[in-house]
Amino acid sequence: MCGIVGYVGPRDAVPVLLEGLHRLEYRGYDSAGIAVEDAGGGGVRVAKTAGRVADLRRAVPDDMAGATGIAHTRWATHGEPSDRNAHPHVDAAGRIAIVHNGVFENSDRLRAQLVADGVALASDTDSEVLAHLVARSTGETLEDAVREALAQVEGTYGVIVMDAERPGELVAARRGSPVVLGVGEQEMLVASDVAALVRYTQQVIYLDDDEIATVTADGYRTSTMGARATSTTRSPTSIDAASAEYELGDHPDFMYKEMREQPDAVDRCLRGRLDHRFSSARLDGVGLTPQDYQRIRRVKLLGCGSAYYAGQLGAQLIEELARIPADAEPASEFRYRNPVVDPDTLYVVLSQSGETLDTLAAVQELKRKGGHVIGVVNAVGSTIARECGHGLFLHAGPEVSVAATKSFTTMGVALAMLALDLGRVRDLSITEGRRLVGGLSQLPDQIARILAAEDEIAEIARKYADARHMFFVGRVRAWPAAREGAQKLKEISYVHAEAYQASELKHGPLALINPEMPTVVLVPDDELLTKNTGTIEEIKARGGPVIAVTDAELPAGLATDVIRVPKAHEALSPITLSVPLQLFAYHLAHALGRDVDRPRNLAKSVTVE
């Protein structure tokens, strides 16, 4: 959460920083700000405002320019979204400017100390203290001063600091929040995410935790934090995303673009990984031998939000295809319950961004206790991918919209391949393996056909736009897809959507069914088909409208509305069934006039607790 960006080089920093913020806006969008070393020698100039980057563009004075600058787009943790709480923050003399992503947990104490020392604080934020601490430091260099200041804070940070008295220099540091350096031709950028850099360079360095960098137009030097600083030798690596992948193109919003990209994303995820000869999957990145696979007694999948639901979907696939007990758990809960970490369990951690703090903390807890953990991650070079060391990349391409779409479907595909690979080392027959390889190969085409039916789904979605509450129900395989469908609807439309196992309805929630409570029922064409049609009858008998999402042939008139999808391999149906739910949520949200890419209170990539 929060996007930070810095620039030093021959260009005017203002347009570079505004462009960077525009690309980082999905990380937070309640206020934005920019600070540059004034080209006219006037020290640090700051422009900031509550609202979006577009509001900041209007607030930046025409004559604001400089070759060095920092900028921030905020997702509020401490202090309401307002002009005064927007970053950058400056010290009392207006010399030091800072941007911060993360949380300083001891900020109350530090703020009280500063106030006791006569410092007038200008905001309610935890972050502002850093500007004052750097200004008060006796360190000889800016880097020394930042080190000294950061030694006093507790919590997480990705920070960039500049000093009007040391023009042409930025200092960046990280603990728990991502910082990446972009190495250009006689220019350097710093950001919380490569999205802000790709337009200017493909050469990047991901800072490690407790690493600090001094950056000038000519280059950079990095070293460890802590009392005894040690230089770290960091060579740039190339990023795999082209600038165009972050562009909206002709699409109305990123969620739409990313839903539409799913056939290609799934195709890329599958590419080179299906083993037709042995009816299995080739997952070299997992780094496990067949003997290692044989020793696995359990699989535990961890992720947050949609990644957790994808983990549930994967647990079902693994148990069904590989016959290994498997379950999923929210990564956000994991470390706080002092989990038993078992050497015979394979831990699979899921994250689109690779930066979700709760998920990263789960990985660190697992590693500390000797657990074997692999990552299923979209963002190459991300902290979780690097921390895991082994796993599967989704190759879905950048996902910008807050609502996960193509990352969810490709997580399902990646986990289906893992289940296939595990299964083929155990009891899954070559015939069943071949059927699943065939089913996986058909997914890109099947998803394209679902997307082609968008108009019909949109019409059904608009019909239910007045509903204030909705149920999403599914059984066994379809249950994680129902949870994801409810999540999509709530986060982008703000309609209350609750997911239930279809089998649990009659144990309580059926009491809520009435003509004002539509229920989306997922009906895969599997061995539970008649159970699901029975559920539809029970809802109808109580006057509840039913939207059936199915790859089966349902009797005419059974459901109020039917969304048909192509028939998938039964184990893969939760993946195909989830795609129309994205379109349903998207069009319902649009019917309500929502900003689907920037839902209220949310941000992509949750890098705070």
- 249 CB neighbour count, 10 Å cutoff: 7
CB of 604 to ligand AGP, least distance (A): 6
CB nearer ligand AGP, residue 402 or residue 420: 402
Tokens 């909206």 locate to: 248
Least distance from ligand AGP to the Cβ atom of residue 315, Å: 16
Angle 601-605-609 from CA coordinates, rounded to 5°: 75
Select 128 or 491, whichever has its Cβ closest to ligand AGP.
Answer: 491
Is residue 492 within 8 A of residue 586, CB to CB? The reply is yes
- Site residues (CB under 6 A) for ligand AGP, limited to 433-492: 491
The window from 10-18, 272-280, 402-410, 538-546 that contacts ligand AGP (CB under 6 A) reads 402-410
> CB count, 10 Å around CB of 307?
27
The full 3-state SS of 351-385, as one line of letters, equals: ECCCCCHHHHHHHHHHHHCCCEEEEEECCCCCHHH
Residue 258 CB, nearest approach to ligand AGP (Å): 11
35 or 304: CB nearest ligand AGP? 304
Least distance in Å: CB of 305 to ligand AGP?
2
Tell me whether the omega of the peptide bond preceding residue 88 falls within 30 degrees of 0, making it cis.
yes
* Cβ-based neighbour number of residue 326 at 10 Å: 26
Residue 402 touching ligand AGP (CB under 6 A): yes
Residue in 352, 446, 493, 560 binding ligand AGP, rule: CB under 6 A: 352
403 binds ligand AGP (CB under 6 A): yes
User: Does the protein bind ligand AGP through residue 351 (CB under 6 A)?
Assistant: yes
Given the residues 48, 257, 490, 604, select the one marked as catalytic: 604
Phi-psi region of 51 (alpha: psi -120 to 50; beta: other; left: phi over 0): left
Closest to ligand AGP by CB, 133 or 302 = 302
Q: Which of 123, 156, 306, 607 binds ligand AGP (CB under 6 A)?
A: 306
Q: Is 604 assigned a catalytic role?
A: yes
Count of CB atoms situated within 10 Å of the CB of 564: 18
Residue 486 tokens read as 């409810």
Is 259 a binder of ligand AGP (CB under 6 A)?
A: no
Q: Applying CB under 6 A, does 353 fall inside the site for ligand AGP? A: yes
C-alpha span between 445 and 316 (Å, rounded): 24
Name 343's Cβ contacts closer than 8 Å, sequence gap at least 6.
370, 371, 372
Binding status of residue 318 toward ligand AGP by CB under 6 A: no
Of these, 188, 307, 473, 589, which contacts ligand AGP (CB under 6 A)? Answer: 307
Applying CB under 6 A, does 404 fall inside the site for ligand AGP? yes
Contact status: 412 vs ligand AGP (CB under 6 A): no
Select from 120-128, 398-406, 413-421, 531-539 the region that touches ligand AGP (CB under 6 A).
398-406
- Give 459's contacts (C-beta < 8 A, 6+ positions apart): none
Residue whose entry in the numeric block shows the structure tokens 């604080």: 121
Cβ closest to ligand AGP, residue 74 vs residue 234: 74
302 is an interface residue for ligand AGP by CB under 6 A: no
Binding-residue total with ligand AGP (CB under 6 A): 15
Q: How far is the CB of 360 from ligand AGP (least distance, A)?
A: 9
At closest approach, how far in Å is the CB of 605 from ligand AGP? 6
Please report how close the Cβ of residue 268 comes to ligand AGP at its closest, in angstroms.
18
Closer of 129 and 362 to ligand AGP (Cβ)? 362
The Cβ of residue 455 has, within 10 Å, a number of other Cβ atoms equal to 9
Nearest to ligand AGP of 424, 604 (CB atom): 604
Sign of CA dihedral 141, 144, 150, 156: positive
Nearer to ligand AGP, 345 or 407 (CB): 407
E strands present in 19-154: 31-37, 44-50, 68-74, 89-90, 96-104
Residue 578 touching ligand AGP (CB under 6 A): no
To the nearest whole angstrom, how small is the minimum distance from the Cβ of residue 490 to ligand AGP? 10
Helix ranges, 179-323 (H): 254-260, 262-270, 290-295, 306-322
* Other CB atoms within 10 A of residue 154 CB: 12
Supply φ then ψ for residue 603, to 5 degrees: -155, 155
Q: Judged by CB under 6 A, does residue 410 bind ligand AGP?
A: no
Among 158, 184, 305, 480, binds ligand AGP (CB under 6 A): 305
- 388: annotated active-site residue: no
Q: For residues 322 and 569, what is the distance between their CA atoms, to the nearest angstrom?
A: 16
Shortest spacing between CB 500 and ligand AGP, in angstroms = 19
- Specify whether the backbone of 354 is left (phi greater than 0), alpha (psi in -120 to 50) or beta: left
Using the rule CB under 6 A, which residue among 71, 146, 194, 606 binds ligand AGP?
A: 606
> Which are the contacts of 193, defined by CB distance < 8 A and separation ≥ 6?
3, 23, 24, 27, 178, 180, 605
**Mask of contacts with ligand AGP, 557-576, x by CB under 6 A?**
--------------------
Q: Which residues are identified as catalytic?
A: 2, 604
Give contact residues for ligand AGP (rule: CB under 6 A).
Answer: 304-307, 351-353, 356, 359, 402-404, 491, 605-606
